[in-house]
Homo-oligomer: A and B are copies of this chain.
Amino acid sequence: MGMLTRIDHIGIACHDLDTTVEFYRTTYGFEVFHAEVNEEQGVREAMLKINETSDGGASYIQLLQPLTEDSPVGKWLAKNGEGVHHIAFGTADVDAEADAVREKGVRVLYDSPRAGSMGSRITFLHPKDCHGVLTELVTSATDH
């Protein structure tokens, strides 16, 4: 209980990553902290660091462009249009937190955590078990 120690990021799906990065840069002054392609997740993504957090981590805006139309984010975009795709809570131990929420009856989408941004390990909770919010749990490479 209470072992999710930060809002790690807000994941936002967009049609064109470069255009959306440029919007966040010119409108708010947010710069790209990190960019990568995650083939397993089927996304091209950019992380915009907004602030540091009291648990030693940070909070980001994560912009996501699907690599293909039939990827999960691609299908989500086709249905919903651009917008907030998921939210992510940071924890020092994503394995233990995933087990804990699973025991409470929340469906966890992966049997074990997978590779997320910047060397993190992530899992997702089913949005229908979370009042409509696709919720990620993440342990960053620097969490300890």
Could you pull out 21 A-B pairs where Cβ atoms are within 8 angstroms? A3-B29, A4-B29, A6-B51, A7-B10, A7-B59, A10-B10, A10-B87, A23-B130, A26-B104, A27-B106, A27-B130, A28-B89, A28-B101, A51-B54, A51-B59, A52-B53, A52-B54, A53-B53, A53-B54, A82-B131, A83-B131
The 8 A CB mask of A41-66 against B (1 = contact, 0 = none) is 00000000011111100010100000
Give min CB distance, A56 to chain B, whole Å.
10
- This protein's copies in its complex: 2
Would you call A78 an interface residue if the criterion is a C-beta within 8 Å of the partner chain's C-beta atoms? Answer: no
Q: B residues within 8 A CB of A127?
A: 83
A12 within 8 A of B: yes
Contact: B2 with A30, CB < 8 Å? yes
What residues of B have a CB within 8 angstroms of the CB of A83 in the complex? 84, 127, 131-133
Q: Does A120 contact B (CB under 8 A)?
A: no
A59 to B52, CA, bound (A): 11
Q: How far is the CA of A4 from the CA of B104 in the complex (A)?
A: 37
Q: How far is the CA of A53 from the CA of B100 in the complex (A)?
A: 26
